[in-house]
Amino acid sequence: MQCIWTLFLLQLVALWANAAVITENGLPILWDQAPSQLSELPQVDNVVTINPWNYLQRMSLYRTLVGSTDKYMASMGTNETDSLFWGLPLQMGWKLRSGVNTFLKGYHVEMKSKSHVTGCASVPIGRLVDPTGATTCGKEGDPMCISANSWWACVNYYLSVIPFLAAVQKDVIGDGLIQVQVQAPAEAAEDYCTSYTDCSTKYPDLMAKWEEFFQTLKDVSASEISDFEKRDQILGVYWAGQQLSLNTASTSCKAKMSYYSSPEVSFAQNWMNSADYVAATYFQSNLNNSVLFMSPLPSRVLQEGDSAPNIADLSKEENHTLYIFGWMTRMNRILMGSLVRMWRSAMCSDKAREKGRELLQDLVHDPKFAASTFVSILKEMTRSC
């Protein structure tokens, strides 16, 4: 009976939802419950041990990063929500919550196929759960668990743990007075590094890139150049770090894609590819901008048979975003990579990058904005560089 009531309530939530859940009280999901300082995390002999396989502790990496770098972010704006790091915790919150409809759909598929139903917790929900279904990680009874088998969690590892360790190494966090150790997961431990030394050995270029970012952040923020120049330099190095993190993760996490449906795999690849366009515009990923850009992301994990823009239980905004992401990937493949190269060439100045940000917003948010218009404007921008 409890399972039936749970399903009924989740059905109501699914009917009410028109977009992905990105924020909670205007902030990333469970932001206020995540530790905000290293001193709030477990310590032994002045060594902080972080468990990134717990959602709140991984979110604490972002909360600490935002708090520790705010003093260097004055060129981004005067509000507490202007830090360019806000986009990352918002993404992780979306991954945690993007699963209500998947729970329902998976349950009904089991019923229709007459296979046995083991209860409400038998179907994975969200993008951070164990996609193999072999454990209860991320499901009812263990909702804060992040699965080491999750492709989405794996990719996020390179956008959370690696930058955090680099920030500690560059004395942006902890002022050089504390050491940090990262707990290995119970499963697939060999897939992840667990300390600055370990991560630097496995991914020397990636760690060096993030160290370069934090050093640039400190140096540029203290320089006498204009805020405009500061912002441009900081964003350029920041997105270079993000891109290298994603490129590294695409190789390291690839095997975990086998646990997902073909539509979800396609979306994951398209989502990764979209970063090429976003990064080239030097997107200022503050809280407001990131929420606007992420709100039409799919609110559940995609299943076999899902085909945008005609997925019945997703909003028209979600369907449109899925379709556009797929179109951008297909067009770039047809053009043998020249669409991305053309886009990067067109982003040759701050004014061009501003136009690029507007183009992406129109493309993602406005179903009436034709893809052909996007290409024609892009060609014109390329000629002007």
What digits encode the pLDDT tens for the residues 42-63?
A: 888 889 999 999 999 999 999 9
Query: Measured on CA atoms in the order 367, 371, 373, 378, is the torsion positive or negative?
Result: positive
What average pLDDT does the segment 91-111 reach? 59
Contact assessment for residue 339 and residue 345, using Cβ atoms and an 8 Å cutoff: no
Domain encompassing residue 233: 2-384
Could you give the CA distance from residue 144 to residue 322 in angstroms, rounded to a whole number?
A: 27
Which residue would you say has higher pLDDT here, 45 or 270? 270
Q: Which pTM was predicted?
A: 0.88
- Convert the pLDDT of each residue in 2-39 to its tens digit: 443 333 333 333 433 446 789 999 999 999 999 999 88
* Amino acid type, 331: M
pLDDT reading at 360 higher than 50: yes
- pLDDT at res. 46: 82
- pLDDT at res. 57: 97
Could you give the CA distance from residue 378 to residue 343 in angstroms, rounded to a whole number?
A: 7
pLDDT reading at 116 higher than 50: no
CB contact set of 82 (below 8 Å; sequence gap of 6+):
73, 76, 286, 287
- pLDDT at res. 294: 95
Backbone angles phi, psi at 179, to 5 degrees: -105, 155
- pLDDT at res. 124: 42
What average pLDDT does the segment 136-159 reach? 95
Contact assessment for residue 241 and residue 324, using Cβ atoms and an 8 Å cutoff: no
- pLDDT at res. 19: 61
- Helix 371-384 to helix 338-346 angle (10° resolution) is 50
DSSP 24: E
How does residue 103 score in pLDDT terms, banded at 50, 70 and 90? very low
pLDDT reading at 97 higher than 60: yes
How does residue 105 score in pLDDT terms, banded at 50, 70 and 90? very low
- pLDDT at res. 371: 79
Nearest Cα neighbor of 60 from 70, 50, 49, 69 is 50
What average pLDDT does the segment 258-269 reach? 97
pLDDT reading at 70 higher than 80: yes
**Average pLDDT, whole number, for the chain?**
88
Nearest Cα neighbor of 286 from 12, 90, 154, 48 is 90
Helix (H) or strand (E) holding 49: strand 47-50
Look at residue 108 and give its three-state secondary structure. helix
What average pLDDT does the segment 69-90 reach? 96
How does residue 187 score in pLDDT terms, banded at 50, 70 and 90? confident
Q: State the total domains in the chain.
A: 1
Could you give the CA distance from residue 304 to residue 190 in angstroms, rounded to a whole number?
A: 30
Contact assessment for residue 231 and residue 74, using Cβ atoms and an 8 Å cutoff: no
DSSP 184: P
The residue with tokens 């990937």 is 329
Strands 43-44, 27-28: pairing kind: unpaired
> In what side-by-side order are the strands of the sheet with 47-50?
43-44, 47-50, 179-182
Instruction: Report how far Cα 171 is from the mean position of its chain's Cα atoms.
Output: 25
Could you give the CA distance from residue 144 to residue 48 in angstroms, rounded to a whole number?
A: 20
- pLDDT at res. 198: 97
- pLDDT at res. 379: 85
- pLDDT at res. 44: 83
